[in-house]
Amino acid sequence: MSTMSASTIITVAPTGAESAKEANPALPVTLDELVRAARACQAAGASMIHIHVRDAAGRPTLDLGRLTDTVAAVREATDLIVQLSTGGAVSDPFEARLAVLDAGPDSCSLTTGTVNFGDDVFANPWPFVAELYQRTQALGILPEFELFDLGHVAALDRLLDTYGPPAGGAVHADFVLGVPGGMPGTAAALVAGVAMLPAGATWSATGIGRSSVPVMLAALSMGGHLRVGMEDTLSYGPKRPARDNAELVERAARLAGEAFRPTASPARAREILNLSQRR
């Protein structure tokens, strides 16, 4: 069982590695665009940001210099909890994904198992997952366990049993539902996943594409936190491109308020995730 939360942490995932700017020109791909998006999303109610960066040509990169500059710039401009993606793009090598931690984020994503990802494979073999987890422990970085499939929830248990609790003690997971190859973006899948979480874990959920709003409503009704953003959907609704990331955060904040689960400030989110002492 997991913990019900009175307030809602909204994580914004503004960019991702899969979409091109041509698909929606509001997708932030430069550092300046990312920082502006981060500021607007904090103002709209976000308390954490999940970051993928792009190179000068707008392609996804794990370049350590860019990642380090990005962490510094987002910290300078906002109070958001800074989470870097260690998932990167499906083509990124394991060593580069491990090295992401050297950019010094507050948190990092950590997917606990392999999953089909459209026509590709998002590879997370156990030795890599174990190595990444132990590095987060050594460096005091909060892992957010990305769960695309029910087997990933079981693997999270295995990780904790084998290597002990995360740095800071908080177990925080994010269900990513609706990836072709993973769990579907349905309330039933979310209920099944949440029931398997370790006691006391906190969690958020995001639905890819058109499952975004249904998953958001299910998560709110179950006491979970939310992730939204243009990494997961470029649209606000059918045939209606998102104006920008802040618009998606605004809707999440509005629905959280309607559910009497108002947004958590970045400071409150740090308390919930036991991050207060670590910045």
Residue 18 or 69: which CB sits closer to ligand KMH? Answer: 18
User: CB 92 → ligand KMH: shortest distance, Å?
Assistant: 8
Q: Which is nearer to Zn ion, 70 or 85 (CB)?
A: 85
Q: Which helix (H) or strand (E) holds 160?
A: helix 150-163
Cα 88 to Cα 101: distance, rounded to the nearest angstrom = 12
Q: How far is the CB of 61 from ligand KMH (least distance, A)?
A: 12
212 binds, among Zn ion, ligand KMH, none (CB under 5 to 8 A by kind): none
Tell me how long the chain is. 279
Using CB under 5 A as the binding rule, whether residue 107 contacts Zn ion is answered as no
| b/e map 70-89, b = 16+ CB within 10 Å | bbebbbeebebbbbbbbbbb
Q: Which is nearer to ligand KMH, 85 or 204 (CB)?
A: 85
CB of 54 to Zn ion, least distance (A): 13
- Amino acid at the residue 276: S
Looking at the DSSP bridge assignments, the partners of residue 173 are 145, 203
61 binds Zn ion (CB under 5 A): no
Q: Where in 67-106 is the site for Zn ion (CB under 5 A)? A: 85
The whole-angstrom separation of Cα 89 and Cα 174 is: 18
The least CB distance from residue 144 to ligand KMH, in Å, is: 8
Inter-helix orientation angle 126-139/150-163, to 10°: 50
Partner whose footprint covers residue 146, from ligand KMH, Zn ion, none (CB < 5 to 8 Å by kind): ligand KMH
- Picked from ligand KMH, Zn ion, none, the partner binding residue 70 (CB below 5 to 8 A depending on kind) is none
Q: Is 124 in the site for Zn ion (CB under 5 A)?
A: no
For position 15 contacting Zn ion by CB under 5 A, the verdict is no
Whether the CA torsion 158, 160, 163, 167 is positive or negative: it is: positive
The residue ranges that bind ligand KMH (CB under 6 A) are 16-18, 85-87, 89-90, 109, 111, 117, 122, 146
Report the alpha-carbon distance of residue 181 to residue 11 in Å, rounded: 23
Q: Please give the structure tokens belonging to residue 276.
A: 């207060």
Residue 263: contacted member of Zn ion, ligand KMH, none (CB under 5 to 8 Å, by partner type): none
The least CB distance from residue 18 to ligand KMH, in Å, is 6
64 binds, among Zn ion, ligand KMH, none (CB under 5 to 8 A by kind): none
Joined tokens for residue 20: 């091109």
Measured in whole angstroms, how far is the alpha carbon of residue 2 from the centre of its chain?
18
What's the CA gap between 180 and 110, in Å, rounded? 19
229 binds, among Zn ion, ligand KMH, none (CB under 5 to 8 A by kind): none
Residues near Zn ion (CB under 5 A) are: 85
